[in-house]
Structure 1
Amino acid sequence: MDISPPPSPAPAPPPPFPVLGVAAPLVVSVAVWAVTRSPYALLFAALGPVVAVAGVADQRISGRRSARRAERESRAAVARLHDEVRARVAAVRVALRSRAPSAREILDGGANPALLWRADPGDDGALPIALGTGDAPSGMVWRGDPDARVPEADDRDGRGALRRLLRRGTARRRAGGARVHDSARWADLVRWIPDAPVLVSAAGGLGLRGAPALVAPVLRGVVVQLVHALPPDDLRIASRPAGPEWDWLERLPHAADGLREERPAADRLAAPGSAPGEPGAAAIRLMLGAREVVLAAAPRVESLPAACRTVLDVRSPGTARILAADAVPDALASPPSADPAVPGLPARGGDGIPVPRLTRTGLVRPDLVSLTEVERLADELADLARRRGLAAARAPLPSRVPFADLPLGGADPSAPESPVRRPGTLAAVIGVGHAGPVAVDLVADGPHAVVAGTTGSGKSELLVTWMAALAAAHPPEEVTVLLVDFKGGAAFDPLLVLPHAVGLVTDLDGQGARRALESLRAEVRHRERVLRDAGARDVDDPAAAGALPRLVIVVDELAALLADQDGLHEVVADVAARGRSLGMHLVLCTQRPAGVVRDAVLANCDLRLSLRVNNEADSRALLGTVEAARLADAPAGRCLVGAHGVPARPFQVAVTTSDDLARIAAARATAVPVRRPWLDPLPASVPLADLAAVPPLVRHGSAVPDGGAPAVPFALVDLPAEQRRATAAWCPATDGHLLVVGGPGSGRSTCLRTIRASAAAAGVEVLRVPADAEGCWDAVAAVVARIRGPHGPRGPLLVLADDLDVAVSRLEPDHQAALLEGLAVVVREGPHAGVALAVSGRRAGGPLQAIAAAAGPPVILALPTRQEHVLAGGESRLFDAHAAPGAGEWRGERIQVARPPEVGTATAPHADATRPPGLADPAPRVVLPGHAVHALITPTPVIAVARLRESGVDAVEAARIPPGWSSDQPFPGAAADGVGTGAAVRPQVVVGDPDAWLMRGPLLADLRRTGDVVLEGCTARDVRTLLRVRAVPPPLAPVPGRAWRITPDGEVRRCSWPPATPGSPVPPGPHVMSAPAAAAVAGPAHSVGISR
């Protein structure tokens, strides 16, 4: 990093004397005097020089002021630069100390405890060690001019020390007599870090030259650093020097079995020309992984082994000189200059690279460690290694371990102090390590675990063995297992024979998997209630003894589970956060935990196991070591396990067979079934009568107001998050209108039939809207009339319209608009009159959009696509492409619509009122009174006249009516045709087609005053065009004889044509509706644009 000085202020040039400014007034004054001959003109000659001199003085004063200001700014910039340099130097010093704590810091307890046995030497073994302290390079370079002067710092901020330092640097002289400028002092300040650790690579070995009394304390300090940085798994001491002062090496846990004592050989280590009897090099040989590292000490440089690439000349107890160094590659930001070659030092490496200058003077202050200190450290590390089950030299791990060879629970189950006998443990032996059987305990090491491993590394085998060992060590009353396999479930199928297994969840049943995992929230609340009722703080509390077995939830391929089931990460995080006290333990298995398991979950997973992984980053993220990435050539099942920051240790996972599982199942068989944490899925068929035995779904504010319709049960609700079921009941008073949406065969018609049967059983009046156009129109008109009619003592009314969107689509556009307007009246004003609407359709849009907007939460049954399900108002997670008829969603919960009673069972009186009373016949036969003349509009007037006359009706075509004739005059049809006898009053009809009546408008208007107008075979447009009727006439069924009848008061009704003659009696019953009855039922229907 380059550091440049701030720019020095440039000196301001002196202002020039204004010669012209002085001469010009003189010339002008002389000219004025020559003209005026006045002596006063000569005074102006003196004024010019005075003004010029004053201007020069002012410029010089301003220049000095600007120079002082620039000097202050320059000093402030120098002070800021000094602070920045010191901060960067301090940061580099801290970084170097964090990479390799010194031996003195380790022995005095100043080293970070988290660094114990956690170093990673890497593939090249470039583990940094500190030779001591000195003025180490900072990696920064001063880019100022060596001969330039840097301005002094401003002392107003208390930086007097820097100011004095720079002044002294300017005044001093070096040996050659040259001045030491400020820039040179800055270069030293920037380039070197005082009292910084001097780091070299341990992989290059270390050679110490000096007297044995001087080099032994330094060599002990280097060993202290190495045994502190690396665990016994990564560092082994293969040989030691001779002599009792080195016996402490054998007490270290890093000492290999059969640690040999290496004596120097004269022919190999003694230096040529050495004095007789002078000792050779004393060497410590270490195995750093597969690399041999030599630490040696000798009185002469030539006696050191060639493998020592770093050589230190220890001259006194506190001073040593670096003769050669294998620097850490990334220790410096930029390489410093090189020292000259050291005479007498043999070539190292043969590459001709000069020795890096690791300190300014080439000197370091090494740490000196006493024999007592290292002996105490060796005992402490040995005790720690025994507690962690670590050893230095180990036999190779077996490539295959049968499960039958493992002890139950890691000890004899009959032993009083075995993990099986002690309460509150989940110890299970799952394999064999260097020190023997390897046991893991989700209680002591957990409470949760993460398992990593690539495909084919043996993850599934590890989980099967773990659960088998858990079942062998603990009865079902103490622990149960929930298996979640999102690889098809084949790996966990053998475990289902164990009585501990509560169930298997696979990705083959997406909805079932979501139900089971959502039930875990309910399991959390269930356990909280049990502990609260028992007065216990957690499952280990004696007050909760035997109340709750621990539940181990094993998830294979967590990434696939979370990708398939949105939102389940929150469930996993909830269990991870609260599982310890509730006795719920997660075992999460995935290929890359760092990219799948969130930090909130991973923080609670102290027990971590890793089989083979693809890269070192995944291994380091899970275990803090790269060893899991080096298992590529290891057999399947080779695993590393670590917990609570303890360095991971390798072991071989045992192989479990079906015979092993059968033997465990037989030994742990129990007559009491284990409790499952979730209920079975909803049945595909639920009789309506069965809902009476299920408690209702209680919601906030679900009380029925006085006078409102009672709740109508219609479905069974699945509540996996509460581990229970409930009855779904539609309460119109609080839920509003109901919309049922579903595709073909989804059961939406069954849903309305169930509601009708349930309401009838409760004594509620039900009106079922017919599916045909005439019946649908008449039913809506009757409901509108009831809503807007006089409100008497009437009970609630439920209006059920099945496939209303289909019924509306069958109508003409004018009829569709009028019918939807009438439905809007029912939706808006119905609740105030006790009328509730339940409608079914294929989708919530289109004709049902207005109803869906005003209705409550819809009942969503099976739809073809997830998109349609969401657009209908459903939740994406509840979509089921293979849902059974009647299965769906309501209010965010799964439901199964109940099956209504079979046809023929007893129902209430109002159970099947398909039409309003008095309107059973949608088109009653026309009865034409004989005291008036009526009009018939038909496309075939000639045929109509002939048929009317045959039936005894006086009929005449409109074209034969003379102009000016009125209905008060004798009927021309009887006189002209001789049909009427005048003895009896017969109906009289004037017949014409629409075009003829359009030309005889006055005649039609005259007939409308006293008689009826019947339109047969015409369109609704003819009604509006000829009769100027604003209301849309009711729709007509496509059957012969359907017609419209317009009474003198302007009401448009549907009727059947031809009319009933006076001589032919009309059958009694609903075919004829009297005017008072029609008015009582229908009311002013035309006011809302809908009529019969």
Structure 2
Amino acid sequence: MDISPPPSPAPAPPPPFPVLGVAAPLVVSVAVWAVTRSPYALLFAALGPVVAVAGVADQRISGRRSARRAARESRAAVERLHAEVRARVAAARTALRSRAPSAREILDGSANPALLWRADPGGGAPPVALGTGDVPSGMVWRGDADARVPDAAEGDVGGPLRRHLLRCAPPWRARRARGADPRAAASPDALTSAHGPARWADLVRWIPDAPVLVSATGGLGLRGAPALVAPVLRGVVVQLVHALPPDDLRIASRPPGPQWDWLERLPHAAEGLREERPGAAGPAGAGAGDSAGAAPGEPGASSIRLVLGAREVVLATAPRIESLPAACRTVLDVRTPGTARILTADAPPGAADALAARRSAEPVAPALPTEADGDGVPSPCLTRTGLVRPDLVSLTEVERLADELADLARRRGLAAARTPLPSRVPFSALPVERGRGPSTPGHRSPVGGEVGPAGPAGDDGPRTRRPRTLEAVIGLGHAGPVTVDLVADGPHAVVAGTTGSGKSELLVTWMAALAAAHPPEEVTVLLVDFKGGAAFDPLLVLPHAVGLVTDLDGQGARRALESLRAEIRHRERVLRAAGARDVDDAAAAGVLPRLVIVVDELAALLADQDGLHEVVADIAARGRSLGMHLVLCTQRPAGVVRDAVLANCDLRLSLRVNNEADSRALLGTVEAARLSDAPVGRCLVGAHGAPARPLQVAVTTSDDLARVAAARATTAPVRRPWLDPLPAAVPFADLAAVPSLLRHGSAGPSVGAPALPFALVDLPAEQRRATAVWCPAADGHLLVVGGPGSGRSTCLRTIGASAAAAGVEVLHAPSDAEGCWDAIDAATARIRAPRGRRGPLLVLADDLDVAVSRLEPDHQAALLERVSVIVREGPGAGVALAASGRRAGGPLQVLAAAAGPPVVLPLPTAQEHVLAGGESRLFDARARPGAGEWRGERIQVALPPEPEPTLSAAAARARWPQEPSPSSRADPAPRAVLAADAVHALVTPSPVAAVARLREAGVDAVDATRIPPGWSADQPLPASADVGATRAPAAGPDACDGAATTRLPVVVGDPDAWLVRGPLLADLRRTGRVILEGCTPRDARTLLRVRAVPPPLAAVPGRAWLVTPDGDVRRCSWPPVTPGPPPSMPAGTPAREGTRAPAEPPAPADPPRRRQDAGVSR
């Protein structure tokens, strides 16, 4: 930070004498006197100099006032700047002291208690304070380097600034100012006189009396006499054992002599703590790579070896710098009990001449080493003079501290931390049964903090809380079996670990131990594995397991998500009904078992399921009171588990992780990143912010799980928080046993039809199933959309069976063109017929879009118009329509726009599923036939009964005698029956072939072009018409006069010929029939002026249209049959028109020729 001086006040220039102001009045006065000759005019000449002198005096007085004001403002700015600098220096001093308490603060009890055993050795040892001195402040003076603090700001000798300057001065200069030893005045390090004004640059740059911090990771060497360096070395050790817990820092060796016996009383002392004898290694000059030890036979040399994680730290003393170990990258030269000099180097010190040169060099302020190994911790480590006032610690003080730390370690369960962890722990070696573990209800588990003992049994009072634990022994630690408790240490847990570290084995062992210690009536387990589910499959033998969710079933995962939301609401209702505040309340005893939700690979689950994080956060916030506990497992907790969830996960376990950031985020230490990859299952566990404890997770086999399952076997059913997915096949009879789901809309007026069950509904959000019921009276028409093989036809058959069982008449519209047209036309005719006593009618149109696509454009428009009539007017006439198709658009758009919510069965893509009216979250690419959705819920269509119930025609007539049944479908194309006493007309694109074919069939066929103009249908066929026949003339009273006219006469022509002979065609319509074979609807409208679109014809030989004299167009089979007498009538009795003649095999006909303007689409 840059500090700039305030601007100094500029001196005001003296005011000039106003010469013109004096001369101008004189000139004017003389001029007036010369004119007036009055002596009084000369008096005005004297006023000019007087006014000018007065003005000059006034300016000088004002200038002095401005100068004094500017001086006051400048002094105020200087004082403000000085106060700001002092405040910043004080804040920087406080920040340095907060990084690491000094040994004196620790021993005096003034150190922050929260810093005890809270340091993170991720970057090496924490910084230690060697003492106090003047350290760089980080501020830079941007003014004159020699600028001095004015006396006004400095104040008197006893003022605050004076005291500050005395603190900034070296100790010997301060002592001289106070009358101390005058020899210190000769020190070359003195930069300013204690009695003279201080320089701004010194005041800004240095922090007086600040802790001098160094890093001990690179080793620390103390040069001096043993009596001088021993108190300083004790102070360094005091700071390290205060900052690091015993599991993070181990004392591997100690100096010889009884004055160092206190090191063995520390909880950090390793087993078999050895004495480090002088001469264990070569001198420092041997090279940086040599082991650190004193020179051979060096008297007074000693060292302490510390193990910090996987790194060794050396604290050494020697009377000569050359004798210090090479590993000591920081060297402190202790000169007197109150004075020491720090010598550091950018490279590891090794050569004696280099150290000596640095010792004799001009003191500077070098920074700590910052090599790539990360050992250096940048901090102010030197004063501006290179001197420091070290903290001296007595032997009595460190002995008292060692006893206090040892007692604290015993109270925290750390006294036995020296026992090595086993490489493998079998599950059978754990005391997993309740009561055998190391912790009992009411007492703290090893990972928690101390609590008071449990009260007397039965002394709970009328409404006390009865906390139930979820203790589970999961492995062995240094102190024995390690117990975790989701109730006492939780309520939720986070497990971290990289691939292959043993996360799945930890979860399996944990759940097995939980099941061994608690019956299914107390705890159940829901398993969520997004690695395929193979790791949790062995746990399904436990009666506690209520389900397994894997990433192999996306819909199952979404059902589990909705079921968890439902479970939260269910538990709230149960607790409210029991009058309990939470699951630990005495009123809730035996009402709800605790539910442990184990999630492996949380990151994959959150990426696959949108909205799951909100559910996890909700359970994390309310799970303690509801008895729901989360065990979240992930490879990298940082960035995966949100802070809102992590704040409620007090129980944290970490196996080996890849980086220190994940370890620090989870446990507050980097030790999890330093766990070795062998053996698998090495873990750190911590709770409630306590230091993490190491353990070896037990290995659970299938035999262990089988024994636990056999021991906890129960006949009582365990309540599951979710139901199984819908079955692939639902019998129709099973729907009667399931409650109906009635969620009607208002799609149309009342139809009068009853509710029709057709499918089973999955309601995971309500933890139940229901029957899907279609009520046409309230829901309107129904559209079923699905791909090939999706079960569309089965759905309509089930609806039809349900309607028939309910007494509703069912009209099936097949997917062929003729059958679909006839059924839709019959339903439309019923709607438009006069109202009478009629019952409800259900029209089932399977593959309606396919049937429409098989028609010509004219027929498509006409059929869709009839469908729209049913859609609009059907509910009022008691007619309901249920149709199926492959997509909701196109031909089915008219129905989709007016119908209720569609039934969406499996479709190939999610886009088609959404376009059909489904929800994207319910799309399942692997859905079975009959599985779909309706009204936002997943359904499985029931199979129709065998045989399907039907409503017979007799029953329909008995129920509605005045209304014919349209469901009885007649022959779609009856054989054409023509009267022999009339002349008929045939319109065909191939008149020549038709004439020949008819003549072979015994019909008097004549070409229309041969009929002379003026001929009438009431006259016999003219002889010029070239009538030919191969059969005998028809006998009977219908025969006409004349041999040429006694057979069935038919006039044949193509549409163009009949268009020319329009009067002839009109005359023939008056007396006979007109048959159109192979023509288009446009031909019928053009030639016969028929408004209605004729019915479609199937693409089979012999299909034709028969036009009656009243303009009705019917479908018929061609060639015609001459009517004969019925078998029961006497011979010669004429048959009525429309009577069916005996069936004859149709004669072969030419394929119908389509005109270019027909616009047929196939």
Change (3 A) 1:890 1:84: farther
Q: Distance in 2 between matches of 1:526 and 1:1061?
A: 79
1:119: which partner in 2?
A: 119
1:998 maps to amino acid = L
Confirm or deny that 1:288 pairs with 2:327. Answer: no
> 1:255·1:393 contact (CA, 8 Å) conserved in 2?
no
Match of 1:397 among 404, 407, 421: 421
**Counterpart secondary structure, 1:652:** strand
Q: Distance in 1 between matches of 2:422 and 2:1119?
A: 103
For residues 523-538 of structure 1, the aligned pairs below 5 Å read 523-538=567-582
1:1086: which partner in 2?
A: none
1:741-773: per-residue Cα shift (whole Å, max 9, x none)? Answer: 223332211110110111222233332212221
Q: Distance in 1 between matches of 2:753 and 2:358?
A: 100
Confirm or deny that 1:324 pairs with 2:343. Answer: yes
Change (3 A) 1:993 1:250: same
Change (3 A) 1:351 1:374: closer
**Counterpart secondary structure, 1:596:** coil
1:591 maps to amino acid = Q
2:127 maps to amino acid = P
> 1:459·1:611 contact (CA, 8 Å) conserved in 2?
yes
Match of 2:938 among 869, 888, 894: 894
Q: Distance in 2 between matches of 1:798 and 1:84?
A: 91
1:42: which partner in 2?
A: none
Change (3 A) 1:1017 1:256: closer
Give unmatched runs, 5+ long, in structure 2.
15-62, 151-159, 165-188, 284-298, 349-356, 446-456, 458-465, 958-962, 1028-1038, 1125-1133, 1143-1162
For residues 328-367 of structure 1, the aligned pairs below 5 Å read 341=360, 358-362=382-386
Q: Distance in 1 between matches of 2:1139 and 2:1103?
A: 19
Q: Distance in 1 between matches of 2:838 and 2:1105?
A: 32
2:129: which partner in 1?
A: 130
Match of 1:994 among 1049, 1055, 1073: 1055
Q: Distance in 1 between matches of 2:672 and 2:764?
A: 39
**Counterpart secondary structure, 2:741:** coil
**Counterpart secondary structure, 2:696:** strand
**Counterpart secondary structure, 1:647:** coil
1:56: which partner in 2?
A: none
For residues 19-98 of structure 1, the aligned pairs below 5 Å read 96-98=96-98
Quote the offset at 1:697 in angstroms. Answer: 1.7
Q: Distance in 2 between matches of 1:228 and 1:962?
A: 130
> 2:221·2:316 contact (CA, 8 Å) conserved in 1?
yes
1:1033: which partner in 2?
A: 1094
2:770: which partner in 1?
A: 726
1:773-810: per-residue Cα shift (whole Å, max 9, x none)? Answer: 12212222333344455555655433211111221221
1:505-544: per-residue Cα shift (whole Å, max 9, x none)? Answer: 4444444454445433333333222222222122221111
Q: Distance in 2 between matches of 1:108 and 1:214?
A: 21
Confirm or deny that 1:920 pairs with 2:970. Answer: yes
Match of 2:243 among 212, 229, 235: 229
1:973: which partner in 2?
A: 1021
1:311: which partner in 2?
A: 332
**Counterpart secondary structure, 1:476:** coil
Length, aligned pairs only: 986
1:1021: which partner in 2?
A: 1082
Confirm or deny that 1:769 pairs with 2:813. Answer: yes
2:740 maps to amino acid = P
Match of 1:1043 among 1081, 1104, 1107: 1104
1:723-749: per-residue Cα shift (whole Å, max 9, x none)? Answer: 211101112344333222223332211
1:117 maps to amino acid = W
> 1:257·1:392 contact (CA, 8 Å) conserved in 2?
no
> 1:704·1:711 contact (CA, 8 Å) conserved in 2?
no
1:605-656: per-residue Cα shift (whole Å, max 9, x none)? Answer: 2212122222222222222222222223531121111112112121111222
2:33: which partner in 1?
A: none
Deviates further, 919-928 or 733-742: 919-928
For residues 434-445 of structure 1, the aligned pairs below 5 Å read 434-445=478-489
Q: Distance in 2 between matches of 1:350 and 1:576?
A: 45
1:40: which partner in 2?
A: none
Change (3 A) 1:404 1:689: closer
Confirm or deny that 1:938 pairs with 2:988. Answer: yes
> 1:860·1:888 contact (CA, 8 Å) conserved in 2?
yes
Q: Distance in 1 between matches of 2:549 and 2:217?
A: 51
Q: Distance in 2 between matches of 1:489 and 1:133?
A: 61
1:678-713: per-residue Cα shift (whole Å, max 9, x none)? Answer: 223322222222211101124376899755433211
1:597 maps to amino acid = V
> 1:954·1:980 contact (CA, 8 Å) conserved in 2?
no
Quote the offset at 1:588 in angstroms. Answer: 2.3
Match of 1:613 among 657, 664, 674: 657
Change (3 A) 1:80 1:961: farther
Confirm or deny that 1:646 pairs with 2:690. Answer: yes
Q: Distance in 2 between matches of 1:758 and 1:417?
A: 60
Confirm or deny that 1:100 pairs with 2:100. Answer: yes
**Counterpart secondary structure, 2:598:** strand
Quote the offset at 1:424 in angstroms. Answer: 1.0
Quote the offset at 1:1036 in angstroms. Answer: 1.0
Confirm or deny that 1:637 pairs with 2:637. Answer: no
Deviates further, 1008-1017 or 592-601: 1008-1017
> 2:1076·2:1105 contact (CA, 8 Å) conserved in 1?
yes
Q: Distance in 1 between matches of 2:837 and 2:80?
A: 92
For residues 700-715 of structure 1, the aligned pairs below 5 Å read 708-715=752-759
> 1:432·1:653 contact (CA, 8 Å) conserved in 2?
yes
Q: Distance in 2 between matches of 1:704 and 1:970?
A: 56
> 2:304·2:315 contact (CA, 8 Å) conserved in 1?
yes
Q: Distance in 2 between matches of 1:376 and 1:311?
A: 26
1:161-214: per-residue Cα shift (whole Å, max 9, x none)? Answer: 99xx9xxxxxxxx99999x999x9664465345665432112245567899999
Task: Give the RMSD, CA atoms, in angstroms.
Answer: 5.7
For residues 726-745 of structure 1, the aligned pairs below 5 Å read 726-745=770-789
Quote the offset at 1:996 in angstroms. Answer: 0.6
Q: Distance in 2 between matches of 1:885 and 1:350?
A: 72
Percent of residue pairs identical: 79
1:491: which partner in 2?
A: 535
> 2:220·2:315 contact (CA, 8 Å) conserved in 1?
yes
Q: Distance in 2 between matches of 1:1066 and 1:141?
A: 124
> 1:1012·1:1046 contact (CA, 8 Å) conserved in 2?
yes
**Counterpart secondary structure, 2:759:** strand
Give unmatched runs, 5+ long, in structure 1.
15-63, 152-160, 166-173, 270-278, 330-337, 1073-1092
2:1098 maps to amino acid = A
> 1:201·1:326 contact (CA, 8 Å) conserved in 2?
no
> 1:951·1:1061 contact (CA, 8 Å) conserved in 2?
no
**Counterpart secondary structure, 2:638:** helix
Q: Distance in 2 between matches of 1:350 and 1:938?
A: 108
**Counterpart secondary structure, 1:729:** strand
Match of 2:907 among 847, 858, 863: 863
Change (3 A) 1:175 1:656: closer
Quote the offset at 1:1039 in angstroms. Answer: 3.3
1:136 maps to amino acid = V
Q: Distance in 1 between matches of 2:664 and 2:72?
A: 53
Deviates further, 211-220 or 232-241: 211-220
Q: Distance in 2 between matches of 1:397 and 1:759?
A: 73
Q: Distance in 1 between matches of 2:501 and 2:359?
A: 54
1:118 maps to amino acid = R
Deviates further, 77-86 or 743-752: 77-86
Q: Distance in 1 between matches of 2:192 and 2:997?
A: 144
